[in-house]
Chains A and B, each alone.
Chain A
Amino acid sequence: MTLPVLKASDFASDQDVRWCPGCGDYSILAQMKKVLPDLGVPREKTVFISGIGCSSRFPYYMNTYGMHSIHGRAPAFATGLKSTRPDLMVWVITGDGDALSIGGNHFIHLLRRNLDINVVLFNNRIYGLTKGQYSPTSVEGQVTKSTPMGSIDHPLQPLSVALAAEATFVARSLDAHVKHLGETLKRAAEHKGTSLVEVYQNCNVFNDGAMAYAQEKKQRAENVIELEHGKPLTFANGTKGIRLVGTHLEVVETSDVPADDLLIHDETDPNPSIQMMLARMSYPTMPEPIGVLRAVSGVPTYDEQINQQVQTATEKKGRGDLNQLFNAGDTWSVQ
């Protein structure tokens, strides 16, 4: 039997997409549909689970199995599903409010357990569906409907959180950089273990241009570093680079330093310390990294192990027999 070759359009459901015109979500949806046929997983074996928020409408637009769940809890639904159905490819679609505010707890625990699940976190630094309150990734001083005098919260950095939980795959991409986004999603899907992809996503209604420094092509070269495993960290068309000095990273002009002074990116290092330094680089003082910060292989997944324990117990004790269980221990008979 030959498997039918699927196209991006085969992954589109019959529902009208209802995001605002110009929303960055469209680009992520398009890249996802484009990537999925390359993965070779049939549609019926693919499940999208989301929480609540604009991004979380995503499953309705995919012709796969899907669940639009409750606010912040998508990782927990996905955990129950993947633990019992390791044969499925499970995606979690979430946003900055969903994953980092109401669902912060589930987010870190999914990452530390390392279930073989892919998480796409749409980060637009604002609450869109509730019409414009600040989010846990909004920058300090940001004026929103709920912070008329500016936000006094210190923003949370999703990549740092993921690295602190020792996630095995941590990456970032941009909705505007579609090629990079597609490649990053594909790598996330191919990684065995929990993959986190943070996507800078523009909310053109409530937080337009919040990440223009990275999204706009003209500014991107100066403000973004595309990470490549085994390559020195350079940006600004190769004119600038990153050097490790003691426990800090600093920007240098590549012409001023010997080439081997530049930091070589190692996504496979199990020690997340330098990856954490990369995650903490932020505009405007530093360029922000996109691409794969961390991809550590060989860490057992939770879904693999929970099923392994069932198998081991069955091999050791034999498949459970209820009559035997009921009659084990002290019993007596009445005639």
Chain B
Amino acid sequence: MILVNQQITHVSLAGSRPTSKSGHNKLHMEATTSKAVRSVSGITVRLAGDSGDGMQLLGTQLTNTSALAGNDVATFPDFPAEIRAPRGTRAGVSGFQVQFASEEIFTPGDVLDALVVMNPAAMVTNLGDLRKGGILIANEDGFNEKEFKLAKVESNPLEANVIEETYRLIKVPMTQLTREAVSEFGLGVKIADRCKNFFAMGLVYWLFGRSLDPTLRFIRDKFGKKPEVAAANEAALRAGWAYGETTEAFGESYQVEAAELTPGTYRNIMGNQALAWGLITASQLSDKDLFYGTYPITPASDILHELTKYKNFGVRTFQAEDEIAAVCSTIGAAFGGGMAVTASSGPGIALKAEAMGLGMILELPMIIINVQRGGPSTGLPTKTEQSDLLQAMFGRNGESPIPVLAPQSPGDCFDVAIEAWRIATQCMVPVMILSDGYIANGSEPWKIPSFDELPRIEIRHPEGTDLDEPFLPYARDEHLARPWAIPGTPGLMHRVGGLEKEDGTGNVSYDPANHQHMTNTRADKVAKISDRIPDQEVYGDHSGDLLLVSWGGTYGACHTAVKRSRENGHAVSHLHLRYINPMPANLGELLGSFKRVAVAELNQGQLRMLLRSKFLVDCQGINKVQGKPFTVSELIESIEELL
């Protein structure tokens, strides 16, 4: 934590719900601390407990509250693939990391200023990330012989001398204190104990000067039908706050002022949510109804959960019998003239490969989303990775190039979804979006756009005719796109299919020259998109000692690392690719303007392979496949090694 006095940007809270609702007046009776307050520029905190302990809920509440306080925020939820991994074990630990700051931030932070642990397993698996001198808050009721056995530790880790010496350890009997706080509501022990995450939340809120209001609103909304549970959770939250205020363990609390963000109205948004909203927006910008055919898979399923809420926006979701049916239904809807989208993660995309090739040769517009996770095979379902890039580029039989776009942050998913549909319809081609688990589940403040100011997506369907002239379903326009003639249009009856088609007529053709011509045309059509996408931008100078290249969800870490390296006087610049295929037209020139080029990616060097083969540039690789995002410090270290 750095002591900085920030210029405070004026922030006004605009809660969505009317405060006049009966019973809500109590919300505003908030206590203020009488202890000393220390102002800091940013805090990174991780909340870790058993997967049943409600850590994800605690994390999202802390995130929203911090965003509402005007901080810039970035989050990293990290949870096991098992819904209920054996309780108390290391495998069952669920964590949520959030950084909130008074300056612009791009990552959820490398090292932790504070760590909250609910049991020994959470402590031993997360302690390594807590900085020396950092605050360690432990629910000491969760540290007993039974829990030590489950966590496979020999003795109480809180009692090791090194802990007291290295960190500011604060042991709180949370279970006990929560039971006392909720005793008046007559809940069973099991339900009472479930309130302890709200106790922990109250304590964390006190420590970082957060308002209780948004969470109190949340509790009343969520548990409104069970007033005794709502009251108990509220009591636990307030008890946690009061504990911070009264315990001698804390001499002071911390305050993070509002960040200076571009003026506008903001909300917090998660990547998958932004993708879903971007898709709905694209459908409305093009006057199309959205069809979303999919099969549940981590970490893409939340897009389905989100979209299916919005049927009144003309959204139809179809949970297919498998991944193949999902993409095929999407192609069917595209043939019918709808805005058709499918999504999955690596293993599901592998199953969709044949159909994607069909979509490509049918030359129909659609969007295929891959929210990447650790591979190969089932791999690491809940962990992030960028190892499906070459699959996106080449994972279909035959010569079958398709455009590939990659969002760089949770909020950017919104823009990329719209851009993907623009390209798909302009070029009559399936477009792949490569998101990843890190940005899908991560969140950040999002400047709310005005729908009316977004550029429209113009789509033309040829009109019907009763002329006898034969319709040419594979005639080409200036973008080499064929007409999107849809069933129901008189006179334009035609047949599409996976067999090679004669250009123009669309009749089945085995002619050698035609196959060469069609293969070239389909490739040229995608390549030509680079004429219409923005030039590649570079952060920093356009020449220098080192250019760090990145793509997708690693944007935040790479940007921050380059920023710090530049502050340290190094001639480093950052180039972040959002358009993977085709690449921006000026990319080759930029790569050639630096003494060295390094590509940082969460795989074994897939973009590096593409850049080397396309531009003959001797790129170096900064690679990691540990199911975790890059930390800023490891990138800075790699940059310094390369300089």
Contacts and interface: CB of A to CB of B under 8 A. Distances in A.
B487 A88 contact: yes
A68 interface: yes
B281 A322 contact: yes
Nearest to B489: A44
A83 B498 contact: no
Interface string B483-496: 00001111111111
A331 B265 contact: yes
A318 B487 CA distance: 29
Interface stretch (A139-147, A149-157, A216-224, A307-315): A307-315
A328 B14 CA distance: 10
A194 B293 CA distance: 20
B499 interface: yes
Contact of A77 (B16, B70, B335): B335
Contacts of A42: 490
A284 interface: no
Nearest to A322: B451
B371 to A, nearest CB: 21
A: interface residue count bin: 35 or more
A129 to B, nearest CB: 12
Interface string A89-126: 00000000000000001100100000000000000000
A335 B488 CA distance: 51
A67 B497 contact: yes
Contact of A330 (B15, B261, B337, B355): B15
A15 B509 CA distance: 11
B115 interface: no
Contact of B495 (A66, A75, A88): A66
Interface in B333-347: 333-338, 340
Given A67-B335, A67-B497, A80-B332, A331 B280 contact: no
Nearest to B318: A83
Given A60-B497, A332-B67, A332-B265, A109 B321 contact: yes
A77 B499 contact: no
A69 B315 CA distance: 25
B322 interface: yes
A83 to B, nearest CB: 6
A320 B328 contact: no
A80 B317 CA distance: 10
A69 B334 CA distance: 13
B264 A84 contact: no
A5 B332 CA distance: 29
B316 A332 contact: no
Given A70-B354, A70-B358, A325-B277, A310 B497 contact: no
A179 interface: no
Q: Which of A73, A306, A307, A335 has the most CB of B within 10 A?
A: A73
Nearest to A88: B487
B14 A331 contact: yes
A106 B321 CA distance: 7
A100 B267 CA distance: 50
B325 interface: yes
Given A319-B312, A326-B277, A79 B335 contact: no
Given A77-B329, A79-B318, A332-B265, A322 B280 contact: yes
Contacts of A15: 507-508
A79 B14 contact: no
Contacts of B13: 332
A323 interface: yes
A72 B184 CA distance: 63
A161 interface: no
Contacts of B337: 84-85
B10 interface: yes
A243 B451 CA distance: 69
Contacts, number: 231
B496 A306 contact: no
B312 A314 contact: yes
A110 to B, nearest CB: 9
B289 interface: yes
Contact of A80 (B322, B333, B452, B508): B333
B318 A323 contact: no
Contacts of B340: 80, 84
Contacts of B333: 80-81, 83-84
Given A109-B321, A334-B264, A84 B316 contact: yes
Interface string B376-389: 00000000000000
B16 A331 contact: yes
A30 interface: no
A106 B322 CA distance: 9
A308 to B, nearest CB: 10
A331 B266 contact: yes
A83 B497 CA distance: 20
A105 B362 CA distance: 24
B12 A73 contact: no
Given A79-B332, A80-B329, A330-B268, A318 B488 contact: no
A14 to B, nearest CB: 8
Contacts of B280: 320, 322, 325
Nearest to A66: B495
B310 interface: yes
A330 B214 contact: yes
Interface string B218-250: 000000000000000000000000000000000
B504 interface: no
A144 B261 CA distance: 73
Given A15-B507, A60-B495, A317-B312, A333 B325 contact: no
Q: Which of A13, A312, A313 has the most CB of B within 10 A?
A: A313
B275 interface: no
Contacts of B313: 319-320, 322, 325
Interface string A280-322: 0000000000000000000000000011011011101111101
B332 A78 contact: yes
B332 A70 contact: no
B267 A330 contact: yes
Given A326-B451, A335-B263, A83 B70 contact: no
Contacts of A314: 311-312, 314
B455 interface: no
Contacts of A65: 335, 487, 493-495
A84 B15 CA distance: 38
A327 B448 CA distance: 7
Given A319-B312, A334-B261, A47 B266 contact: no
A320 B487 contact: no
Q: Which of B262, B324, B487 has the most CB of A within 10 A?
A: B487
A73 B266 contact: no
Nearest to B470: A14
Contacts of B150: none
B331 interface: yes
Interface in A51-73: 52, 59-60, 62-70, 73
A79 B557 CA distance: 43
Contacts of A214: none
B155 interface: no
Nearest to A78: B332
Contacts of B491: 44
A331 B337 CA distance: 36
A76 interface: yes
A105 B322 contact: yes
Given A84-B289, A85-B488, A331-B266, 7 more contacts: A47-B487, A65-B335, A76-B324, A307-B316, A316-B312, A319-B313, A320-B312
Q: Which 6 A-B pairs have the closest CB atoms?
A: A68-B497, A80-B332, A80-B329, A320-B313, A76-B328, A313-B311
6 contacts: A68-B496, A73-B325, A81-B336, A310-B312, A323-B451, A332-B266
Interface of A: 13-15, 42-45, 47, 49, 52, 59-60, 62-70, 73, 75-85, 87-88, 105-106, 109, 306-307, 309-310, 312-314, 316-320, 322-323, 325-335
